[in-house]
Amino acid sequence: MMVPLDPSSKPTSQRRIAEGDTVVVYERHDAMRAVAVRPGAVLQNRFGVFRHDDWIGRPFGCKVHSAASAGGGGARGGKGKGGGFVHLLAPTPELWTLVLSHRTQILYLADISLVVSYLELVPGCLVLESGTGSGSLTTSLARAVAPHGRVCTFDFHDQRAASAREDFERNDLTSIITVAVRDIQGQGFPEEHTGAADAVFLDLPQPWLAIPSAGTMLKQDGVLCSFSPCIEQVQRACEAMRSCFTDIRTFEILLRTYEVREGGLKGATTNEESNAVPLAQKKRKLLAAAETLDVKQNSSVMVRPCSTARGHTGYLTFARLRKLVDSHLHNRRKLSVQPHVQEYLRKYWEEYLRRYWEV
């Protein structure tokens, strides 16, 4: 189960792998895959052959070694002749984003983290999403509002919606996520959600067409987010938001990762060691080390940016629903003021201005 029904517990606490579970097979940091556990099935990769039967009953997070072949090998979970190994991880929204099937372009972790935070999601919220796609963001939204909240997601493409529904069933998220087929740009959101949504997320080619409908779905002070890859889309969306939204902000998230390695430099010393030893003594030590080739190697940590990194993914535009005032009610209240009250207020302000401002 990817999302815990009890907020005080972790979804993988004391859980062991069972038949039918989905596990994330971790080969290396850039090589992972989601696998459904089936008795008698076999996974074969660059590290060897792995039998699903050896996984059943093992705890999530365990390290399993490959067998010598698909039909034989060492003891259960033991190290066979292949020598390779993998880790069996429980699926989380973060891992699912890295292993899911790409039916469309998806949002990655940097964008997702800002969306979930800026939408101010807490357990029990109702979130409307248009543009289900591959379900990357939807899964993280579900965790944010679990266990009693709901995510209603819409996609105009029948097959994409069906595939996303299968993924959510596979990850036991159907109690939180509802998938429907609907053209939000043309039809808007269903009226049943009017004034009930805590947040709305739009991932549409023409988001400005859906913004008026999104405004009617939100509660007072609710937050809207629109994801667009092009700045021209952002401009038109912002123009549509100005009529009933405030605090409009656009962000671009660029993630930069670093490689951290533990290594050493021959003959290097720390600053403390260098300051404590006289210069003549340092020279004698270096000469002795050079003669005996017994060079001291100090452990150090070296950091450098990764050579490859994702660039521009898209722009995230957030806006908060402005508190609407019924102008007709305001006018009626203004006209209902009695004439003697209006005269009293007029004289009061005249006296105030004369006394304090010498008008």
State how far the Cα of 24 lies from the Cα of 22, in Å rounded to an integer.
7
Q: Is 299 helix (H, G, I), strand (E, B) or coil?
A: strand
Q: Give the pLDDT of residue 78.
A: 46
For the chain, what is the total number of helices (H) and then of strands (E)? 11, 15
d(CA 195, CA 263): 58
Terminal alpha carbon distance of the chain: 73
174 Cβ partners below 8 Å, 6+ apart? 165, 168
3-class secondary structure per residue, 188-240: CCCHHHCCCEEEEEECCCCHHHCHHHHHHHEEEEEEEEEEECCHHHHHHHHHH
Q: Does domain 94-251 correspond to CATH entry 3.40.50.300?
A: no
Over residues 146-159, the mean pLDDT reads: 96
Q: Is 354 exposed, middle or buried (0-12, 13-18, 19+ CB in 10 A)?
A: exposed
On the question of pLDDT at 133 being above 80, the answer is yes
pLDDT band, very low/low/confident/very high, at 302 (cuts 50, 70, 90):
confident
**Separation between Cα atoms, residue 148 and residue 94, nearest integer Å:** 21
Of 256, 254, 249, nearest to 314 (Cα)? Answer: 254
The proportion of the chain whose per-residue pLDDT surpasses 90, expressed as a percent, equals 61
- Please, which pLDDT band fits residue 80 given cuts at 50, 70 and 90? very low
Going by C-beta distance under 8 Å and a sequence separation of 6 or more, which residues neighbour residue 78? 65
In this structure, of 39-48, 158-167, 233-242, 324-333, the range with the lowest mean pLDDT score is: 324-333
Per the annotation, binding residues are: 134-137, 155, 172, 203
Q: How far out from the chain centre does Cα 180 lie? A: 22
Which architecture, in CATH terms, is 22-91? Roll (3.10)
Please give the model's pTM, rounded to 2 decimal places: 0.74
Q: Is the pLDDT of residue 281 over 90?
A: no
The mean-pLDDT minimum among 165-179, 219-233, 281-295, 322-336 falls in 322-336
Q: What is residue 158's predicted lDDT score, i.e. its pLDDT?
A: 95
Q: Provide the pLDDT for residue 215.
A: 96
pLDDT at 100 over 50: yes
Q: Are 152 and 126 in contact (CB under 8 A)?
A: yes
Helix axes 158-170, 136-145, angle to 10 degrees: 50
Instruction: Give Rg (Cα) of the chain.
Output: 30
Task: Report the distance separating Cα 84 and Cα 49, nearest Å.
Answer: 9
Instruction: Considering only the C-alpha atoms of the chain, give the largest distance between any 2 of them, rounded to a whole number of Å.
Output: 108
* Residues contributing to the annotated binding site for S-adenosyl-L-methionine: 134-137, 155, 172, 203
Mean pLDDT in the chain? Answer: 83
Query: Pick the residue with more confidence: 241 or 286?
Result: 241
Contact assessment for residue 62 and residue 128, using Cβ atoms and an 8 Å cutoff: no
Q: What is the DSSP code (8-state) at residue 150?
A: E
pLDDT at 269: 52
pLDDT for the residue 189: 97
DSSP one-letter string for 328-356: HHHHHHHHTS-HHHHHHHHHHHHHHHHHH
What is the pLDDT at residue 77? 44
Closest CA relative to residue 167, chosen from 111, 101, 112: 101
For residues 42 and 50, the answer to whether their CB atoms sit within 8 Å is yes
Q: What is the pLDDT of residues 185-242, one digit of tens each?
A: 999 999 999 999 999 999 999 999 999 999 999 999 999 999 999 999 999 999 999 9
Share of the chain above pLDDT 70, in %: 73
